[in-house]
């Protein structure tokens, strides 16, 4: 079952659970987690924070197939199901894995990465990316670490929708064809803002503002 493309991860079973135990583990440099197994009870574990960060950020990404061994037991192929990050340090504080059958397709969230400096941005426009992740369906080993979108030719007023995306071989993209992935809009002119503000000023005459005394 072992594959050179899989990420090896050694974990230790957790006998205690709860927020107090999780805080204790984090102080000790560990990340608490849960391995959900098909047709079996889930396994609570903890893993070295250093090992987990290195595994995820060492070129594999969050969509990689992990082979998890708990207490030196059998290796279980799994995908990251969910995670929690420290909002300040952007580090893992909890992680959940889901056991997978390598011969069956699964659905997973994959990041959308924009590539290139768009024509519209070079002309002063503003690039917006409202959709940063999309759902894909594929065999676990075929899940891409990201979906790349070339926006080099995207001009002001241009839009990239879900229908414009290209799926890698063996991967199905799941979503609404009209969903906006990225767009370039014209910048707001300073003169337009000043004109609106000047036109709005007469409405305040005779009224009171929060900064005025209203005795």
Domain interval for residue 123:
107-191
Residue 156 lies in a domain: yes
Residue 206 lies in a domain: no
What's the pLDDT score for residue 58? 72
What's the pLDDT score for residue 166? 95
For range 96-124, the mean pLDDT: 96
Q: Are 17 and 97 contained in the same domain? A: yes
| Encoded tokens for 157 | 């007023």
Please count the structural domains in the chain.
Answer: 2
Which has the closest alpha carbon to 153: 116, 114, 112, 113? Answer: 116
- Identify the band that residue 4 occupies on the pLDDT scale cut at 50, 70 and 90: low
Which has the closest alpha carbon to 52: 86, 88, 3, 24? Answer: 86
Residue 114 lies in a domain: yes
For range 51-58, the mean pLDDT: 85
């Amino acid at each position: 079952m072992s594959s050179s493309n899989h990420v090896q991860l050694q974990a230790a079973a957790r006998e205690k659970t709860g927020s107090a135990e999780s805080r204790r583990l984090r102080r000790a440099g560990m990340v608490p987690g849960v391995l959900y197994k098909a047709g079996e009870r889930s396994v609570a574990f903890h893993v070295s924070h250093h090992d987990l960060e290195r595994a995820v950020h060492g070129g594999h990404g969050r969509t990689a197939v992990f082979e998890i061994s708990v207490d030196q037991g059998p290796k279980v192929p799994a995908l990251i199901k969910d995670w929690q990050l420290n909002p300040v340090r952007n580090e893992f504080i909890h992680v959940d894995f889901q056991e997978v059958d390598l011969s069956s397709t699964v659905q997973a969230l994959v990041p959308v990465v924009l590539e290139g400096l768009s024509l519209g941005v070079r002309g002063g426009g503003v690039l917006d990316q409202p959709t940063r992740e999309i759902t894909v369906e594929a065999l676990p080993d075929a899940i891409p670490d990201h979906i790349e979108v070339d926006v080099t030719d995207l001009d002001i007023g241009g839009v990239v929708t879900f229908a414009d995306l290209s799926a890698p071989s063996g991967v199905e993209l799941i979503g609404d064809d009209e969903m906006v992935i990225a767009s370039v809009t014209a910048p707001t002119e300073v003169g337009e803002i000043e004109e609106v503000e000047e036109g709005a000023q007469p409405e305040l005459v005779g009224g009171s503002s929060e900064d005025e005394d209203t005795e």
